[in-house]
Structure 1
């Protein structure tokens, strides 16, 4: 397959990434054009020893980093609300967040794109959570019956700059806490202390309020086969704190608020 054919299949995704980095589609497209011109001039700059997608993103990221002014987004450029938020995030942290949360790279590939190691990438993703929280800090309800896991999640959420409104161990506790103070984000286990279901608790909550939901569970198959809200995020236990931080940032940044599945189907 020729270089042009290889690049063509990834072009829409490169444009998306460049837009998010720059804050506008026109500026992003200028960098993608520069990337294409560089590949035409030097086809060997595409590293054939790594995945083509990884190599393309690495080249685009290096090109973007080579321009000193890219430490901020032009406030006059047309941008959606999320891109304006990204303008306040330091460049390397911004890139790590976008590669993991927007482009869906795993940790190793994202680290390769940025020419760093995985521990450094995890630190950047956690930094992204803290920097984003300065813009979009919210109240978080934790539904988790294991005390140590609940405390770990509480500490992580607070370290990112968010507020924990309560920790529920059962369906009924979750509903009561949510009614007392409406959360801006829910982190929920599926199997709860009294045998009740975190899925059922979340489904009841979102009948009255739309809110981003992240399920953190040792039973992912129950999420996949049960009646679940849409959209919702899923993290399997045991989890990496950096993974939870990245998904929290993703859920809040892109404002993916869950609804009952039946409601979404008719909306």
Structure 2
């Protein structure tokens, strides 16, 4: 009886991992809407046939099912897209097959090479090679200007160093909502990297929404210690999200992914 009480059932385990499945799917597509559609299709497939999880732990199996749906669909952004997002799709098509998927699994979601191999249905050595290939291909792909919104000086300097080493130009660092708006007006960035809670208790979310409303859509990466709170699917939420504490690999991967896409969905507080 004690085992039955302490062992989580499948629904509870899925509920724990769904926010991170959404994060992965959104990063693949560059869109909350498209990403959540893939995540929902994954859950529907599992509910229809729970045996698709056989032979794996629940989290690995969940991502394996998503990958199967994603790879069969073969569309990194929504059908019918035109303009910059269509260009992003064309650019993504030039990357080595499965490399970007492997890089996200390794850097953002923290899967081991063994688990990545299971998810992508390849062997471990190929999983390792795919991550290495993705790093090479994406490092040389797109550069631009990046604005950092972060109130902790050490974190801000660390992010600035990582972004600069990638070849991007940092337009500046803002500590508050008002500073962010002023900085964006003075030097319009190609990408915004924003913390959620700022120095004067203002919101990085509000700051980003101010800028997107005034300057137009552009990629945004949010950094937060509580990513699951921004991955519910209940309202407009970010397509790109990094958890605190972050690693250098996570920042590099997220920035590279976001630079492929020239729009993002706003997040309302």
TM exceeds 0.5? Answer: yes
Normalised by the length of structure 2, the TM-score is: 0.55
Name stretches of at least 5 consecutive residues in structure 1 with no aligned partner: 1-47, 62-79, 263-267
In the other structure, the counterpart of 2:15 is none
1:189 maps onto 2:192 in alignment = no
1:118-165 Cα distance to aligned partner (Å, 9 max, x none):
8876655543431222xxx11111001111211221122122222111
- Distance change >3 Å, CA 98–CA 245, structure 1 → 2: same
Pairs within 5 Å for 1:1-267 = 81-82=87-88, 84-86=90-92, 91=96, 95-101=98-104, 107-108=111-112, 109-110=115-116, 113=120, 115-116=124-125, 124-133=133-142, 137-208=143-214, 209-220=216-227, 223=230, 230-259=237-266
Normalised by the length of structure 1, the TM-score is: 0.56
Q: How many residues align?
A: 188
Work out whether residues 219 and 259 of structure 2, in 8 Å CA contact, stay in contact via their aligned partners in 1. yes
Match of 1:235, SS state, is strand
- Structure 1 distance, partners of 2:130, 2:164, is 20
> 1:169 offset after TM fit, Å?
1.1
> 1:181 offset after TM fit, Å?
1.2
Work out whether residues 98 and 130 of structure 2, in 8 Å CA contact, stay in contact via their aligned partners in 1. no
Name stretches of at least 5 consecutive residues in structure 2 with no aligned partner: 1-53, 72-85
- Structure 2 distance, partners of 1:217, 1:121, is 28
> Higher Cα Rg: structure 1 or 2?
1
- Structure 1 distance, partners of 2:185, 2:128, is 39
- Taking only aligned residues, the RMSD between alpha carbons, in angstroms, comes to 4.0
